[in-house]
Amino acid sequence: MSSCQIFTPSEIKSIRHAGKILGECLELMGKLVAPGITTKELDRAAEEFIRKHDGATPAFMGYHGYPATLCTSVNEQCVHGLPGDYVLKEGDIVSTDCGVLYDNLFTDACRTYGVGKISKDAERLLTVSSQALADAVAMIKAGVKVGDISATVQGTVEGAGFSIVSALTGHGLGKTLHQFPDVPNYGEKGTGPKLPANTIIAVEPIVCIGGDGIKEADDNWTINTKDGSLSAHFEHTLLILEDGVEVIA
């Protein structure tokens, strides 16, 4: 499909329900993240939390064969980090990226957390990356173009001296996890598709301290920064409204 999907009131009701579960799941991850826990333990807790809700399942599991509930990307890992035996330690940063599938509708969101006390640089990376997402949320409403969002995210990130990981983009979602349109984190104001009310997009700045550029790890999932610099990822599922936006998760 190369036009934005418009969701019905009853679909939006289901998506809100999925988003509420997802938001609570990510909040739980924030409470569990601490020195000593493994990324696999986080994954297990997320899966258990989601499945406890009638009809809700982990949205990433089985997606192109993905084997887990969460993506847990630590430090120089940008996205799609596979949960495993890695033990989080003081000073790490970890993104917990998760989706909930409910009533055949998909949601997708991510937060990056510091593990115990983190460096000043890491702290600033988290602040700027989440601010870039907040700046996008503040300007989105029906009628904005994708390029307006891209330029907003890019302005905040580059204005602070950090880099956009340009190969990784946000996306439409709802009927599937990824659908039209792509929402890049860099671009020109006034370009790209116009967003109508009642469509759903995921905006997800993926930001690094060093230079742009990625490389895939041997597990064929985890994507790292090419230069090994720290990377952070924040993502909301957003419902476009006539006069603003609703954060679904």
Among 29, 71, 78, 214, binds ligand MF3 (CB under 6 A): 71
Please choose which of ligand MF3, Co ion, none residue 206 contacts, taking the beta carbon within 5 to 8 angstroms, the exact cut-off set by kind.
none
Cβ closest to ligand MF3, residue 17 vs residue 80:
80
Among 43, 76, 108, 135, binds ligand MF3 (CB under 6 A): 108
Q: Tally Cβ neighbours within 10 Å of residue 246.
A: 16
Q: Tally Cβ neighbours within 10 Å of residue 179.
A: 19
Instruction: Decide if residue 205 touches Co ion (CB under 5 A).
Output: no
116, 90 Cβ separation under 8 angstroms: yes
Measured CA to CA, the distance from residue 128 to residue 21 in angstroms comes to: 26
In angstroms, what is the minimal distance from the CB of 236 to ligand MF3? 11
Cβ closest to ligand MF3, residue 107 vs residue 229:
107
Q: In the complex, which residue's CB is closest to ligand MF3? A: 66
Residue owning tokens 């985890």:
222
Instruction: Decide if residue 79 touches Co ion (CB under 5 A).
Output: no
27, 96 Cβ separation under 8 angstroms: no
Cβ closest to Co ion, residue 43 vs residue 118:
43
CB half-sphere exposure, 105, CA atoms < 13 A = 24
The first and second tokens of residue 75, run together, are 């430090």
Cβ closest to Co ion, residue 118 vs residue 202:
202
Please choose which of Co ion, ligand MF3, none residue 113 contacts, taking the beta carbon within 5 to 8 angstroms, the exact cut-off set by kind.
none
The widest CA-to-CA distance across the chain, in whole angstroms, is 47
Please choose which of Co ion, ligand MF3, none residue 66 contacts, taking the beta carbon within 5 to 8 angstroms, the exact cut-off set by kind.
ligand MF3
